[in-house]
Amino acid sequence: MTYKSIRGNIKGMSGEHQAEVLLTLICTLSLGIGFFGSLFDLITEDTARYFYVASYLSGGYFGLTESVQFLMKGKCNVDVLMILAAAGAAFIDYWLEGAMLLFLFSLSNTLQHFAMGRSRNAIRSLMKLRPAEALVRSADGTEQKVPVEALKLGDIIVVKPGERIPIDGTIRSGKGTVDQSAITGESAPVFKEEGAEVFAATFNENGILEIKVTRGAGDTTLAKIIKMVEQAQNKKAETQRFLDEFESKYAISVIISTIALILIPYYILDQPFDPVFYRAMTILVVASPCALIISTPASILSAIANAARSGILFKGGAYLEQAAGIQAFAFDKTGTLTKGKPAVTDIIPISGSENELLRLAASAEEHSEHHLAEAIVNEARRRKVEFIRAEDVQAIIGKGISAKVNGAKLKIGNRYLFEDNLKDLSEDFNNTLEEFRNQGKTVIYVSKDDSMIGAMALADQIREQAAPTILELADLGIVDITILTGDSLNVAQNVAEQLNITNYHAGLLPDQKVELIEKLSQKKAVAMVGDGVNDAPALAASHLGIAMGAAGTDVALETADVVLMSDDLTKLPYMIRLARRAKTVVWQNIIFSLAVIAMLVSSVFLFDLPITLGVIGHEGSTLLVVLNGLRLLKNS
């Protein structure tokens, strides 16, 4: 996480959370000065105690207020136990130990709050895609901008080239290509004409569109995506209930035990108060779950740092633990398994060479901004083909382009541009092109002076890392792989066959992806890997949402639990191995911490363990679990 992103998280916090960050820093500084100052004889023990008191006040402030609120509701949690343990340590003059307990307690709470604005940021990122206003055309032909929320069903809005569509509707007049990848995930813009459905937040590439509003601002496909993200994230929060119950039971049991250790010996067994209270405080200190509390973050944070160095950004420790249990993967296709950009795959000249056909087409398309034109020009540059100056270049909306090159009239476009010419082509030529279409490729024709001279096939390219990643996941025991895409069935089938994936679903809208993820999740722990806004609900609904970082949209990055910063799919197997290793270390630390607590508590009764040895054992176990966790900093 960069400094800028951390600063952004802090700015997005409430005033209370900002104050918690400040108090944690004060607690750290006070503890450091008190400890190191007395260690190196820079200050006296009495002076050090003042700094420990400052650590108590700053590190324990929010814990104390939280404890009071819980106790007033008749509840108890580990916060209460930590405050009592620190108070007990101070009462018997062990200020340093108490200050360290409160420091660790304050730090862990502060770190958790960095992710609290995540859901809010996800919604903000989604809403940025939708224009705030729409241009409404009245019955008398006048036009005026109104807030999108003010639009009514049946209103006619006008969307110009280069603008995002503000509302769901159907085209009443006009035609052009619309990039709706943000909603459907389709790899190529779609040609739209009268009667076609369009979605809010999609991009009108060319043509003036008159759109009849069919859904209100609160009922658009985009609004549904927002709602699904919120619901899915709220469901995830419920998984913390088990941990809360454990904390409460542990805290209550220790507090009751400590009180009993004072009251029973003193009032019933008639033992002297001082040794009774000393023993009870020793129990309270050694039973405080300092090592237990730090055991998990010490391991998880080390693993997260390891992952970050490798270009894998976890949003929190819970997601690292979740990754260890993943049994199945669901992949979006466009921009995830594929590069998200078309490239020329085949050149079929009727006369002349491939390079000559490519040279003519690229010369005409050189200055076009269309995504297919860019692919043709890039292929020509890759082959180092020389361009010819084109003149009288004209776009034919929804069909292609025309231009004059060396005095000849060229046309490059789809089948709709050449309806009269296609019937004259040979059967073998047409069969070849039909086979390309069956493979999910886009076919572009090229004519010269109204005579067909060839065609080209273009397709989104599979990432080089996709195939080895699938194989490596299989080596880790994850063989349940599914492709979920909004693209056509032919495209999905072609990609699945190349990657040897048997499960794939095509033509999906965001809610359909969520339904499939939920079905898969009922059987196995599923990770969803995607990059687009349309993937956001599925990312949130899965057990583990993984976003492609460099190409991922803001909302995918905000909604995801894990981000692959370099878009490198080969990081997925490494992530799984690291998560499994971290889970092993975490359980080693938990079992060790509980064993030490049990041993120290038993020693108090069996051997009258002095509080000094109790603190040494307690803090020693904390150090050991931290060192064990730090092993995860090494690459696996």
Active-site positions read 332
| Long-range pairs of 609-615 with CB within 8 A, sequence gap ≥ 24 | 609/282, 609/286, 610/282, 611/92, 611/94, 611/278, 611/281, 611/282, 611/285, 614/282, 614/285, 614/286, 615/94, 615/97, 615/285, 615/286
Q: What are phi and psi of 78, to 5 degrees?
A: -65, -25
Distances (CA, A) of 186 to 329, 373, 505, 529, 570: 20, 18, 13, 16, 24
A 10 A CB-CB count for 168 gives 24
Spatial distance between the Cα atoms of 257 and 287, rounded to a whole number of angstroms = 10
Which phi and psi (to 5°) does residue 395 adopt? Answer: -85, 135
Name the helix (H) or strand (E) containing 171: strand 169-173
What's the gap between Cα 165 and its chain centre? 26
Residue 429 dihedral angles phi and psi, to the nearest 5°: -65, -50
DSSP H/E element including 544: strand 544-548
Structure tokens given for 313 = 């950004």
608 Ramachandran zone, left/alpha/beta (phi>0; psi -120 to 50): left
| Cβ-based burial of 548 (10 A; exposed 0-12, middle 13-18, buried ≥19) | buried
Element spanning 347, H or E: strand 338-349
Amino acid present at 198: V
Report the DSSP beta bridge partners of residue 381.
none
How distant, in Å, are the alpha carbons of 208, 263, 413, 430, 439 from that of 434?
32, 88, 16, 6, 9
Identity of residue 185: G
Collapsing DSSP to helix, strand or coil, 312 comes out as strand
State the DSSP H helix or E strand holding residue 342, giving kind and residue range, or none if neither. strand 338-349
Check if the beta carbon of residue 480 is closer than 8 Å to that of residue 458.
no
Instruction: Look at residue 112 and give its three-state secondary structure.
Output: helix
